[in-house]
């Protein structure tokens, strides 16, 4: 019985490009957030806008997040070693968890500050119009940054970069709320500025919780999506020589997937022939899907044709 194994694409072949794209997009984010945070906080203080100051602090927290992403990106593309037999892909998941916790803590702090201001409305000053111009400029810059980072993340299929891109989108949404709050303050409703800060804090905290919770599940060996599991099963079942499949299990490893499967083959085959079938199934799965490795267990079965003859 002769079996030709299909060539497998190296899952690490795009790592240099992935690393370069992640580094470039994150450095762009660093520069944008550095400029915005300085301008927003400085103008917020001068223009008496708590919402703009809160948005500036949010931008400043992005710098910390960007450095976390750069650190994770530096380590996640490394090859497997003696201490990490499956590679370092979970650095990305850990980075997403840190980003989520950072967003959550910043959101809680902004909520607390806004509540204190609302509890004493007499201390709320009138905001100067320059704060509105800065808020609108920040809104435009953050929306453009989000679109740029999301395109880069989708190109290299990185959940960590997607998380960081949506972090930038949360900034754009918060800047929109801030602009509306400043407009309300300028129109004679001073409470709207701290109300805007309150809304921004809630938005940031909610997104932080969602990112952190999602990353936590991945660190706890969450399985691949059902669509991916179905596709893995279909590829293995279509492999010549495979009579059945059971006990298919998956777990996430960063953006990659680890697969365990029991493959049923003809019990009359030699060990070499059974091994070749399992190797072919493994190669096909790893070629077509973001799968890091496939561990197969071969179960000998009686072919269906022979079972029907015996019956």
Task: State pLDDT tens for residues 177-200.
Answer: 889 999 998 888 888 888 888 887
175 and 238, same structural domain?
no
Q: What is the pLDDT of residue 55?
A: 83
Q: What is the pLDDT of residue 9?
A: 40
Q: What is the pLDDT of residue 13?
A: 39
List the Cα angle 238/243/245 in 5-degree steps.
80
Domain final position from 178, 204, 219: 219
270 and 155, same structural domain?
no
Residue 288 in contact with residue 235, Cβ under 8 Å? yes
What are the angstrom distances between the C-alpha of 102 and each of 47, 71, 156, 157, 288? 27, 15, 24, 23, 35
The arithmetic mean of pLDDT across residues 35-52, rounded, is 89
What are the angstrom distances between the C-alpha of 248 and each of 233, 234, 267, 278? 8, 11, 20, 14
Q: What is the pLDDT of residue 10?
A: 38
Nearest to 136 by CA among 182, 169, 167: 182
Q: What is the pLDDT of residue 69?
A: 65
Total number of domains constituting the chain:
2
Point out the least confidently predicted range of 117-121, 211-215, 243-247. 117-121
pLDDT at 240 over 70: yes
pLDDT at 48 over 70: yes
DSSP designation for 122: G
Question: Could you tell me the CATH number of the domain that includes residue 142?
Answer: 1.20.1510.10
The answer as to whether 8 is a domain residue is no
The answer as to whether 290 is a domain residue is yes
Q: What is the pLDDT of residue 3?
A: 40
Q: Could you list the residue range(s) of the whole structural domain that residue 230 is in?
A: 226-310
| pLDDT tens profile 213-231 | 888 887 777 888 899 999 9
Domain final position from 219, 246, 264: 219
pLDDT at 304 over 60: no
121 and 54, same structural domain?
yes
Residue 33 in contact with residue 310, Cβ under 8 Å? no
Q: What are phi and psi of 225, to 5 degrees?
A: -65, 160
pLDDT band at 72 (very low <50, low <70, confident <90, very high): low
In whole angstroms, what is the distance from residue 202 CA to residue 240 CA? Answer: 54
Residue 59 in contact with residue 138, Cβ under 8 Å? yes
82 and 20, same structural domain?
yes
43 and 169, same structural domain?
yes
pLDDT at 276 over 90: yes
- pTM recorded for the entire structure: 0.61
Question: Could you tell me the CATH number of the domain that includes residue 268?
Answer: 3.30.70.1350
Residue 211 in contact with residue 92, Cβ under 8 Å? no
DSSP H or E segment with residue 240: none
Q: What is the pLDDT of residue 237?
A: 93
In whole angstroms, what is the distance from residue 94 CA to residue 145 CA? Answer: 23
Domain final position from 219, 237, 256: 219
In whole angstroms, what is the distance from residue 106 CA to residue 202 CA? Answer: 10
106 and 242, same structural domain?
no
The arithmetic mean of pLDDT across residues 159-184, rounded, is 80
pLDDT at 133 over 60: yes
The answer as to whether 23 is a domain residue is yes
The answer as to whether 151 is a domain residue is yes
What's the chain's average pLDDT?
Answer: 80
The arithmetic mean of pLDDT across residues 137-146, rounded, is 89
The answer as to whether 289 is a domain residue is yes
Residue 104 in contact with residue 212, Cβ under 8 Å? yes
DSSP H or E segment with residue 191: none
Q: What is the pLDDT of residue 12?
A: 38
pLDDT at 158 over 90: no
259: left (phi over 0), alpha (psi -120 to 50) or beta: beta
């Amino acid at each position: 019985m002769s079996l030709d194994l299909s060539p497998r694409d190296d899952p690490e072949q795009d790592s240099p490009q992935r690393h370069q794209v992640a580094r470039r997009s994150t450095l762009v984010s660093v520069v944008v957030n550095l400029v915005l945070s300085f301008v927003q906080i400085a103008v917020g203080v001068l223009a008496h806008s708590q919402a703009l100051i809160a948005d500036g602090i949010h931008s400043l927290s992005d710098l910390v997040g960007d450095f976390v992403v750069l650190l994770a990106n530096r380590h996640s593309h490394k090859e497997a070693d003696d201490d990490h037999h499956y590679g370092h892909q979970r650095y990305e998941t850990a980075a997403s968890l840190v980003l989520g916790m950072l967003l959550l803590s910043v959101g809680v702090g902004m909520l607390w500050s806004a509540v204190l201001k609302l509890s004493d409305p007499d201390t709320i000053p009138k905001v100067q119009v320059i704060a509105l111009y800065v808020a609108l400029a920040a809104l435009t810059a953050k929306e453009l940054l989000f679109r740029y980072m999301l395109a880069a993340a989708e190109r290299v299929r990185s959940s960590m970069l997607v998380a960081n891109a949506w972090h930038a989108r949360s900034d754009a949404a918060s800047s929109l709320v801030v602009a509306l709050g400043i407009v309300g303050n300028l129109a004679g409703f001073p409470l709207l500025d701290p109300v805007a800060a309150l809304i921004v804090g809630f938005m940031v905290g909610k997104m932080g919780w969602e990112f952190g919770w999602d990353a936590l599940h991945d660190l706890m060996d969450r399985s691949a999506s059902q669509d991916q599991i179905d596709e893995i099963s279909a590829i293995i079942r279509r492999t010549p020589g495979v009579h059945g499949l059971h006990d298919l299990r998956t777990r996430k490893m960063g953006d990659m997937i680890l697969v365990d499967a029991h493959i049923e083959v003809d019990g009359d085959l030699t060990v070499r022939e059974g091994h070749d079938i399992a190797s072919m199934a493994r190669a096909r799965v790893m070629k077509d899907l973001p799968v890091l490795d496939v561990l197969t267990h071969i179960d000998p079965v009686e072919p269906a044709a022979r079972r029907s003859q015996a019956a």
